[in-house]
Structure 1
Amino acid sequence: MKYGWNERWQSIMDSMKDHGKPLVPARVTAQYSKQYRIITETGERIAAVTGKYEFEATSRSDFPAVGDWILVELLQGEPRAVIHKLLPRTTAMTRKEAGAVPDEQVIAANTDTVFIVVALNQDFNVRKIERYLIAVWESGSQPVVLLTKADVCDDPEPYVSQVMSSAPGVSVHAVSSVMDQGKEAILPYLIPGHTVAITGSSGAGKSTLLNWLSGEEIQRVQSIREEDARGRHTTTHRELFLLPEGAIMVDTPGMRELQLWESEDGWGEAFSDIEELAQQCRFHDCRHESEAGCAVQLALTEGTLDQGRFANYKKTERELAYLARKENSAAKRQKDRSRARQSKSRRDRRANGYHFSYDGDD
Structure 2
Amino acid sequence: MEWIQAAIEFLSSEGWFLILLLGIVLVVLALYFRYQTLKLRHSISQLYKINENCQQDALEFFHQSWPLLNRSGCLELEANVNWFGETFKISKGSTLDQTYLYAFTASVDDMKFKVSAYLSYSGQQPESIARVILITFQHILEQDLMLKQSQILISQKRLERYQLFVQHEIKNIAQFLQLLSDQVQTIEAEEACNKLMNRLKASVPFMAQRAKRTLSQTYQPSQVLQNEWINIESMILDIVKVNALAAQIKGEANVYLPRELMLEVFKNILNNFRDHGSGNEVLKIRVKKQADELSVQIESSEISLQQVPIERMFEPFWTNSESGMGLGLFLARELLKQIDGLVTFRSNTENQTSLFEVSIPIKDALNQ
Q: TM-score, normalization: structure 2?
A: 0.25
Q: TM-score, normalization: structure 1?
A: 0.26
Larger Rg computed on CA atoms:
2
Between structures 1 and 2, the one with greater helix share? 2
Bigger relative CO (Cα 8 Å, ≥ 6 apart): 1
